[in-house]
């Protein structure tokens, strides 16, 4: 079997390809944001590609070109904003709807968007975000510190990620701590202003390659993910896989067995932060539960087996 993977999102495609067995012939068509690379170059590469199955990430132009060039069987992989936001827009919404209707199989990275996908294509199913166990694995917590390290790992995006709410919550932390944030996201400058306004001391870290994110997690006593729309993001999954307690807002309706909280308020988040930083037993118990959860549901090795079954079924269909 030859798999042609087109585009990527949050390293999902790259991680899945890495763990596919040797009998699978793999081709990954990546692109940059450069004009040629995302237009004519992309079209040329997709046109020339040949495989037994085509798996395209994000339901925009990459997927549209694959349908236009009649690449079959075609799996369209939605990752969140394409079905949550882009589908509603006048400019690009028609492309997303076209792709949903013309793919042979639809995968969604978030259960929160599954109903939207199914309304256009009844083959749609939830496929969890994988993490790479060779990169993200647990190490012991650093407990002998005068100051605890809190890492806000999500991009600074107040609307979608809600990182501003975590900044407010940090003002209510009762133990000495060092706040670290990664210097990226559309609201980074706003975050810097807010940090100064709130009187927080924060270290702005340079953005690092994906394979080095583990070091940032391991150096933290607590990782704050997203306080936004309630989906389970890559940051939270990888931090949990690194054995770090994580506070991250999810909608329990969609993730009933996930040991993360549905955050009710800034005060609620602050209570959780204080509890984890002051109670070693609670921190260790949360760490254990979260590690067990991601190991069971998000390990790339297990998910590749599931994906290959989806491929085989789609090819036969």
**Helix or strand (DSSP H, E) at 165:** helix 163-170
Domain 2-130+299-316 identical in fold to domain 148-297:
yes
pLDDT at residue number 257: 96
pLDDT at residue number 199: 95
Mean pLDDT, residues 89-113 = 97
- 148-297: CATH topology: Rossmann fold (3.40.50)
Write out the DSSP string of 212-264.
GHHHHHHT-SEEE---SSS---HHHHHHHHTT--EE----TTT-TT-SS----
Percentage of the chain modeled with pLDDT above 70: 97
Q: Is the pLDDT of residue 143 over 90?
A: no
Mean pLDDT, residues 7-13 = 94
Instruction: Please give the DSSP secondary-structure letter assigned to residue 150.
Output: E
Percentage of the chain modeled with pLDDT above 90: 91
pTM of the model: 0.93
Is residue 159 within 8 A of residue 228, CB to CB? The reply is yes
In the structure, what pLDDT confidence band is assigned to residue 144 with cuts at 50, 70 and 90?
Answer: confident
Instruction: Please give the DSSP secondary-structure letter assigned to residue 147.
Output: S
User: Whose CA is closest to 179, among 156, 212, 208, 211?
Assistant: 156
What contacts 122, CB < 8 A, 6 or more positions away?
A: none
What are the angstrom distances between the C-alpha of 167 and each of 234, 247, 286?
20, 13, 22
Q: Is the pLDDT of residue 34 over 90?
A: no
Q: Which sequence spans correspond to the domains of the chain?
A: 2-130+299-316, 148-297
Q: Cα–Cα distance between 90 and 108 in angstroms, integer?
A: 22
pLDDT digits over 159-184, tens only?
Answer: 999 999 999 999 999 999 999 999 99
Mean pLDDT, residues 106-122 = 97
Q: Cα–Cα distance between 92 and 86 in angstroms, integer?
A: 6
pLDDT digits over 48-62, tens only?
Answer: 999 999 999 999 999
- 2-130+299-316: CATH topology: Rossmann fold (3.40.50)
Neighbours of 186 (CB within 10 A): 13
pLDDT at residue number 68: 96
């Amino acid at each position: 079997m030859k798999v042609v993977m087109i585009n990527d999102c949050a390293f999902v495609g790259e991680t899945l390809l890495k763990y596919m067995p040797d009998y699978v012939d793999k081709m990954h068509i990546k692109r940059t944001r450069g004009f040629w690379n995302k237009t004519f170059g992309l079209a040329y590469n997709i046109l020339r590609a040949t495989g037994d199955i085509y798996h395209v990430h994000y339901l925009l132009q990459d997927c549209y070109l694959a349908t236009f060039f009649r690449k079959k069987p075609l799996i369209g992989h939605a990752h969140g904003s394409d079905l949550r936001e882009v589908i509603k827009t006048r400019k690009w919404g028609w492309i997303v709807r076209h792709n949903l209707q013309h793919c042979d199989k639809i995968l969604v990275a978030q259960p929160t968007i599954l109903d939207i996908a199914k309304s256009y294509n009844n083959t749609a199913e939830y496929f969890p975000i994988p993490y790479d166990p060779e990169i993200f694995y647990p190490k012991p917590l650093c407990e002998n510190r005068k100051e605890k390290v809190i890492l806000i790992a999500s991009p600074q995006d107040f609307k979608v990620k809600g990182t501003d709410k975590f900044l407010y919550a940090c003002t209510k932390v009762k133990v000495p701590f060092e706040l670290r944030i990664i210097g990226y996201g559309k609201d980074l400058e706003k975050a810097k202003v807010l940090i100064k306004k709130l009187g927080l001391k924060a270290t702005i870290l340079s953005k690092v390659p994906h394979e080095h994110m583990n070091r940032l997690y391991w150096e933290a006593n607590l990782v704050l993910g997203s306080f936004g729309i309630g989906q389970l993001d890559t940051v939270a999954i990888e931090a949990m896989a690194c054995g770090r307690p994580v506070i991250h807002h999810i909608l329990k309706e969609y993730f009933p067995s996930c040991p993360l909280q549905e955050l009710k308020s800034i005060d609620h988040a602050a209570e959780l932060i204080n509890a984890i930083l002051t109670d070693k037993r609670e921190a260790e118990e949360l760490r254990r539960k979260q590690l067990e959860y991601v190991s069971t549901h998000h390990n790339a090795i297990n998910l590749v087996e599931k994906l290959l079954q989806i491929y085989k079924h789609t090819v036969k269909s």
